[in-house]
Amino acid sequence: MPRGRYSLHDLHDHTPLGEEHFHCAPGPSGWRYVSQTTGPSGSHLGSVDLALDELGRPIRLELHAASWQIRGAALDGVTWVRTDPTGTHATEGNVRAHTFSGTSPAFLVAVARLLRLTPDSPATRVRLVTFTDPVLAPRTVDQSWSLLNSEAHATDNGPLIVDEYQVNALDTGEQHAVHIAGDVVLAAPGIELEHLESPPSAMPRPDGRGGGHGLDGDGDGDADGDEDGGQSRPQAQD
């Protein structure tokens, strides 16, 4: 069970935003990530509890930040309930998207587990609902993910496969790199792995069908039937 600590930084001026203390593990039905976030002074800022099924879909999400709360899951796309700090008002949202996103490194691992790309896969478009700090306001974004390289590094516990992804924001054209080993983010914009107590758990590897996990046979990403519970699928780009 990987357990460790990330440092979080502002994407633009690299101002320290705090730390995320996490542990995560695969299970019989998928993968779970739990964390607590603290500010630069050590004060408690929030928490993340994310569970994925074996296909990488979010079956449960619970976020807390500044007394705001999100509860969500993959249902007719993704569905969530956002509760205000007083607990007296709750608003429900639903978007035909693939999964959730946010500031936590957990969401990068979640997208990688959903897509299961290979270096030969085409760039794959994915729609995300991201929750922005500190009030967990939802925003829909479109990204394109490509796996540029998978490289094995020798360690005392055997080879460690590090995947290098290129992520493009389709609304701005901004590009950035994400490095993931199993279920641990090694480096990404605004994220640095500061401490890891145990090796990452192995990432499920693609089954050789090509393209991202869950694409249909003609590669256009359209669902052929509703076996995924009505959730839309990642879309390969030519």
For the chain, report the end-to-end CA distance as a whole number of angstroms: 38
d(CA 34, CA 8): 16
In order, the DSSP letters of 40-102 are TTS-EEEEEEEEEETTS-EEEEEEEETTEEEEEEESSSEEEEEE-TTSS-EEEEEES-SEEE-
Own/partner contacts of 215-220, CB < 8 Å, gap of 24 or more, are: 215/124, 219/122
Write the pLDDT tens digit of every residue in 9-54: 998 888 999 999 999 999 878 999 999 999 999 999 999 999 999 9
The pLDDT value given to residue 177: 97
d(CA 77, CA 71): 14
Confidence of residue 224 (pLDDT cuts 50, 70, 90): very low
Distances in whole angstroms, Cα of residue 37 to Cα of each of 23, 103, 110, 133, 179: 12, 10, 18, 12, 21
Among the listed ranges 60-64, 88-92, 143-147, 231-235, which one has the minimum average pLDDT value?
Answer: 231-235
Q: Is the pLDDT of residue 97 over 80?
A: yes
Residues in contact with 78: Cβ distance below 8 Å, sequence separation at least 6, in sequence order: 58, 72, 94, 95, 97, 98, 99, 100, 129, 231
Confidence of residue 222 (pLDDT cuts 50, 70, 90): very low
pLDDT over 90 for what percent of the chain? 73
Contact, 46 vs 66, CB < 8 A? yes
Write the pLDDT tens digit of every residue in 188-205: 999 999 999 989 998 776
Q: Is the pLDDT of residue 229 over 60?
A: no
Phi then psi for residue 210, to 5 deg, are 85, 150
The pLDDT value given to residue 151: 92
List residues bridging with 106 in a β-sheet: none
Write the pLDDT tens digit of every residue in 119-156: 999 999 999 999 998 999 999 999 999 999 999 888 87
- On average, the pLDDT of the chain sits at 87
